[in-house]
Amino acid sequence: MRELLGSATLGNFSEALDEALRQQASRLHAPDSRKSDKGLRRFTIREMADIAFRMNYNTLRHHLKAIEGLPEGEMESGNRRTFSLEEIHEIQQRLYEAGKISNDMYPGKHEGDETTKILCYNLKGGVSKTTCSANLAQFLAMRGFKVLIVDLDPQASCSDLFDIQADLDNIASIYDVLRYEEQSSGDARVPIADAIQATYFPNIDIIPGSISLTEFEYETATAAAQGIPFYSRISDALSVVEDAYDVVIFDTPPHMSFCVIAALYASNAMLIPLSAGMLDVVSLVKFLDLASSTLESIEGVDPDKRFDFVRLLLTRYSPNDPAQLQLSSFLRNTLGNSMLNTDFLNSTAIADAGNTMNPCSRSIRQASPARLMTAFWKACMALPWRLSGKS
Ligand SMILES: Nc1ncnc2c1ncn2[C@@H]1O[C@H](COP(=O)(O)OP(=O)(O)OP(=O)(O)O)[C@@H](O)[C@H]1O
Ligand SMILES: [Mg+2]
């Protein structure tokens, strides 16, 4: 007895869920209409010292008193002084100019530095790729780096976290930047600068993903048959804007696609999030094999292709679970320093942030930065290059 038209059934599910989600969002964010309307919360002097400047708390307090004309922040209940992130970055700039922050600890590219382009990738779904991309971006942005996220996942979860929805808001997505003009139905390709959206988080811009990214795959197959190269599609587009950023982070879908290959070609660093389960490690082997042969073909096109760093990060890690503990030391013994020595802990703060569709720095209204710091930001600090300052 087949009475249901599949397309209509799935379409109805989609409409019903979409409507329910909108209603839920408007309840959740009332009196604002969107979660980004509230903007980012303010930070205490201790947070400024620990997270943004990575400076001793008492030293920072001393500088704040000694240097004239710095932003004073606002006094909140409990006699706590708080600062907006913009104020924090202004203070950082002034302290740097006054010689109180060393060159090494001052964020940003130094002369001759290339923009770091990090591919956050693993074939496996649900291993925290998006969570890592969003949190790494926030950590770096708090430190004062200028970050561009490129959301290459048609599910566009990272864009959702930052409250930028290309499909809903009818704005350009990365697909519109990468599309093949000659094959499209009349719509011109969008210049990359026009697809960049500022987010509510200072120092973080994003080029949103959209479901239309799936079309890029079909179009690429046809274009490749006509001899149009696709490898350099992302790097060519990015070259126009990347100088304005210290770090570009690619959030990727849980599969190998033309888009991911173009991102591999465009990136110069790789972060591989990995869950601490035996099956995850088994599929990691297959993933590494596939990534290695894909890179081999990229190296055939560009023999100079190099990565500044490739690091694996254990995610959703519970150190109290003996099986995970064992697996973690197995991975460290086998992969050595390529495994970041600080894991991304399983954390209710992070899970809650996902559940309420808030990137975690917004949810630190409920979860203290100290918890987030332990959960992930410590791992960010373990990254090489001057991304994070001294650890
Ligand atoms: N450290 C953590 N502690 C607790 N929950 C986490 C943690 N990291 C991620 N999560 C949760 O796990 C789920 C999957 O995470 P995420 O979406 O980042 O994975 P993903 O690899 O991007 O998934 P996909 O392959 O679908 O793109 C989310 O609900 C997220 O909130
Ligand atoms: Mg994801």
Pocket, ligand 1, Cβ cutoff 6 A: 125-131, 153, 157, 254, 315-316, 344-347, 350-351, 354, 375
CATH number of 116-387: 3.40.50.300
pLDDT tens-digit series, residues 239-297 = 999 999 999 999 999 999 999 999 999 999 999 999 988 899 999 999 999 999 999 98
Q: Which atom of ligand 1 is nearest to the CA of 346?
A: 3
DSSP string, 2-65: ----HHHHHHHHHHHHHHHHHHHHHHHHTTSSSGGGG-PPPEEHHHIIIIII---HHHHHHHHH
Contacts of 386 (CB under 8 A, 6+ apart): 104, 107, 110
CATH of 20-106, one of 3.40.50, 3.30.70, 1.10.1660, 1.10.3470: 1.10.1660
Atom of ligand 1 nearest to the CA of 345: 1
Domain boundaries, the chain: 20-106, 116-387
For residue range 14-45, list pLDDT tens digits in order: 888 888 888 877 776 677 777 677 778 888 89
Alpha helices in 275-321 (DSSP H): 278-301
Compute the distance from residue 205 Cα to the ligand 1 centre, in Å: 21
Structure-token pair, residue 123: 């074939």
Which of 120, 121, 129, 131 to probe ligand 1 with, by most ligand atoms within 8 A of CB?
Answer: 131
Q: Give the pLDDT confidence score for residue 353 in this predicted structure.
A: 65
Q: Tell which atom from ligand 1 comes closest to the C-alpha of 315.
A: 1
Q: Residue 12 — φ and ψ, nearest 5°?
A: -65, -40
Strand partners, 300: none
**Residue 219 and residue 210: Cα distance in Å, rounded?**
15
Residues, CB-to-ion distance under 5 Å, ligand 2: 129-130, 157
pLDDT < 70: residue spans in the chain: 1-2, 28-29, 35, 182-187, 353-391
Q: What is the per-residue pLDDT for 362?
A: 43
Which pLDDT does position 140 carry in this prediction?
Answer: 87
The confidence score (pLDDT) of residue 385 equals 53
How high is the pLDDT of residue 186?
Answer: 61
Give pTM, 2 decimals.
0.90
With a CB cutoff of 8 Å and minimum separation 6, the contacts of 365 are 41
Compute the distance between CA of residue 262 and CA of residue 169 in angstroms, rounded to an integer. Answer: 26
pLDDT of residue 374: 56
